[in-house]
Amino acid sequence: MHSHLVPQPRRIPRQPRGQRRVAQLLQAAAGVIAAVGYEAATMSAIAERAGAPIGSLYQFFPNKQSITHALRTEYGKDYAARLNALEAEAKGLSLEELSGRLISLSVNFVRSHPAFLPLLDAPLSTRSPESLRRMLRERLARCLAAVIPSAAPEESLRLATVTLQLIRGLNQLYAEAPVRQRREYVREYRVILCSWLTTRMEHRVEGDCQ
């Protein structure tokens, strides 16, 4: 994707007051998108929810794509922080435990960010920056390397890339599934992730996916 297609904020605040205003606008955007979905969300509704003049919103974000890009970037940073916390304890985990923690981490993230699933319908141009997505892969690779210390760095990164793709699949299914079925799908993905990682690493470690 060419960088000029990525929506950028109109003005990046440097002062605490402006940063607080942007945080309020992003929170309002998340609330509107969680309530009505990405397509139905409007800049007017976001400004109204934030209790801000529409001009104040446009001062920072020229359009819905721009504020959505900023929101998804904040979500990516939050997810990265959760992976960072997992990395700190990953060394003492088995593959089964790590798989369970990763699935639980992702499900808890979705539950604590109600706008996340509706944002799956947003245009690709609103995705978080490639640099942030690369950091997520690298942090997850370090988690895997802590459990599989004999894996080469490029192997850990490859496994992390596939793992994140599996989690994206879970997110999409979680979004589409009836609420009563979500727990079952989460359980299946936990088994899938553990089984796959154990099969890939069976010559290095023993795993149990019960």
Backbone angles phi, psi at 117, to 5 degrees: -65, -45
CB atoms within 10 A of CB 33: 27
Tell me which residue has tokens 């002062």: 15
Provide the b/e sequence for 56-85 (b: ≥16 CB within 10 Å).
Answer: ebbbbbbebbbbbbbbbbbbbeebbebbee
Size of the chain, expressed as the number of residues it contains? 210
What SS3 string covers 50-75? HCCCHHHHHHHCCCHHHHHHHHHHHH
SS3 99: helix
Return the pLDDT at 3. Answer: 40
Q: Are 70 and 79 in contact (CB under 8 A)?
A: no
pLDDT score recorded for residue 4: 43
Q: Degrees (nearest 5) of the Cα angle 67, 68, 73? A: 100
Secondary structure element (H or E) that encloses residue 160, with its range = helix 153-176
Tell me how far apart the alpha carbons of residues 133 and 108 are, in angstroms, rounded to a whole number.
Answer: 19
The list of the chain residues with pLDDT below 50 reads 1-4, 205-210
pTM: 0.86
Residues 8-37 have pLDDT tens digits of: 655 566 667 768 899 999 999 999 999 999
Q: Which two tokens stand for residue 47?
A: 């400004």
- Alpha-carbon span 42 to 48, nearest angstrom: 10
pLDDT tens digits, one per residue of 147-167: 998 889 999 999 999 999 999
SS3 (DSSP) at 103: helix
All structural domains of the chain? 8-62 (1.10.10.60), 71-210 (1.10.357)
Q: Indicate the helix (H) or strand (E) that contains 129.
A: none
DSSP 94: -
What is d(CA 37, CA 39) in angstroms, rounded to the nearest whole number? 6
pLDDT at residue 19, as a whole number? 82
pLDDT value of residue 200 = 84
